Amino acid sequence: MTEAMDSLTASRAFEVRAFNRFYTQAIGVLQAGMHHSPYSLTESRVLFEIAQAGKLETGEVRALLDLDAGYLSRILTRFESDGLIVRERSATDGRKQVIRLSAAGTEAYGMLDRRSQEEIGRLLARLPEEGQRRLVEAMATIRDVLGPPPEREPVVIRAPRAGDLSWVVHRHGVLYAQEYGWGMAFERTVAKVVGEFDPGRDAAWIAEAGGAPAGCVFCVRKDATTAQLRLLLVEPSARGLGLGRRLVEECVRHARAEGCRRMVLWTRSCLESARRIYRAAGFTLDSQEPALENGVEVVDEMWSLDLAATS
């Protein structure tokens, strides 16, 4: 790792730690008891998990909250002494204990839940509507980034709708700047291609996963017998699903159905994943030429596919 990367990592770690300090203070978890109760944050979470499940084995509580066995045992001993829980032997395995809340435990949980809702309500009430929306979206982003990988959702390949063309330009600009260092001149090139898109003559497809755009490709007429594949993109979160292959296959199928005898495309040698997809679809490399993009040395490539020979 370079010194620059070390410095960047340290800076990001500082920002995460600063956020943690700010947020724990903002929601009051540094107080002796959560929501002015006799229970710590961890104890409140144990009550919450048991209440949500109805009953849990001790091992399940430990796994849910990633708690040390001894620490959890002390919490449960206190709860039992306070009359908050009832312990029973598992009906399926006598070596295991099952825990459920008593009437007093249910009342304690209800008090904590009610106070938590009220405190968060007061926090949100201090913010305007736009601030509340930004806060909730930012929290969803944190859960998405730090949480377990989501289950793969079905992908839909569809025609563009209102707003999709601006998404194509935006995501090309952002992703290629982040991953390859290409600048706004490349984004302007993409915007020019999108601006020349004619739905009466050309075709485009948006890959959608979980209700959000995850990829795209365009099929543009060059002349009466030649089509050009343009603007293939797959979001990082959707890579590995075969989306690029499906988008290219849709583009080739459409060009052939429209009577085109040849399809061409322009790409760059550093776009290795895209090049593998093109080669698998039958495209062959015709020419290479060195070029610059935002001061970055690149190799422009032209590829082609004989549609008549592969029909």
pLDDT digit string, tens, across residues 187-231: 999 999 999 999 999 999 999 988 889 999 999 999 999 999 999
Domain total for the chain?
2
**83/198 same-domain check:** no
- Cβ distance 219 to 202 under 8 Å? yes
22 in a structural domain: no
- Give the C-alpha separation, 45 to 102, whole Å: 16
Is 115 within a domain? yes
Co-location of 232 and 300 in the same domain: yes
CA atoms within 13 A on the CB side of 131: 6
Q: Do 140 and 161 belong together in one domain?
A: no
What confidence tier does 21 reach under pLDDT thresholds 50, 70, 90?
confident
Please give the Cα distance from 98 to 56 (Å, whole number). 5
Is 197 in contact with 218 (CB distance < 8 Å)? yes
Q: In whole angstroms, what is the distance from residue 173 CA to residue 155 CA? A: 23
Question: Which of 146, 168, 193 delimits the end of a domain?
Answer: 146
228 & 130 share domain: no
> pLDDT higher for 311 or 309?
309
- Would 7 be classed as within a structural domain? no
Final residue of a structural domain among 92, 125, 146 = 146
Least confidently predicted of 6-10, 140-144, 217-221: 6-10
- 3 state DSSP class of 219: strand
Answer yes or no: is 14 within a domain: no
Domain residue limits at 125: 31-146
Residues 275 and 134 in one domain: no
Alpha-carbon dihedral angle through residues 24, 30, 33, 35, given to the nearest 10 degrees: -40
For residue 76, give the H/E element and its range: helix 69-81
Q: How far apart are CA 54 and CA 41, in angstroms?
A: 20
Residue 12 lies in a domain: no
Verify that 170 and 98 share a domain, yes or no.
Answer: no
Does the pLDDT at position 25 exceed 80?
no
Same domain assignment for residues 115 and 177: no
Report the alpha-carbon angle 22-27-32, nearest 5.
Answer: 100
| CATH code, 254 | 3.40.630.30
Which pairs from 282-289 meet CB under 8 Å and 24+ separation?
A: 282/252, 282/310
C-alpha angle 216/289/180, rounded to 5°? Answer: 45
Burial (CB count <10 Å: 0-12, 13-18, 19+), residue 226: middle
Residues 60-82, mean pLDDT to the nearest whole number: 89
Q: Give how far Cα 194 sits from Cα of 164, 252, 273, Å.
A: 10, 19, 23
pLDDT tens per residue, range 267-308: 999 999 999 999 999 999 999 999 999 999 999 999 999 998
At residue 151's C-alpha, the angle toward residues 150 and 154, to 5°, is 120
- Contacts of residue 149, defined as CB under 8 A and 6 or more positions apart, other chains included, come to none
The confidence score (pLDDT) of residue 31 equals 62
Instruction: Specify whether 133 is located in the same domain as 66.
Output: yes
Classify residue 19: in a domain, yes or no: no
Spatial distance between the Cα atoms of 311 and 263, rounded to a whole number of angstroms = 12
Closest by CA to 217, choosing from 236, 235, 204, is: 204
Going along the chain, which residue ranges are E strands?
56-57, 85-89, 97-101, 155-158, 203-209, 212-221, 226-234, 262-268, 284-293, 296-306
Q: Residue 226 domain-assigned?
A: yes
The predicted model gives 67-92 an average pLDDT of: 88
With 0.75 as the threshold, say if the pTM is over it.
no
Looking at the structure, do residues 123 and 160 belong to the same domain, yes or no?
no
Q: Which of 127, 146, 165 is the last residue of a domain?
A: 146
Confirm whether 56 is domain-assigned.
yes
Can you give the pLDDT at residue 92?
78
Q: Which of 187, 137, 138, 141 lies closest to 166, judged by CA? A: 187
pLDDT, tens digit, for every residue of 244-261?
999 999 999 999 999 999
DSSP secondary-structure letter at 51? H
Residues 184 and 272 in one domain: yes
- 116: CATH: 1.10.10.10
161 with 291, same domain?
yes
Q: Mean pLDDT for the chain?
A: 89
Residues 132 and 40 placed together within one structural domain of the fold: yes
CA-based nearest residue to 267, from 248, 250, 295: 248
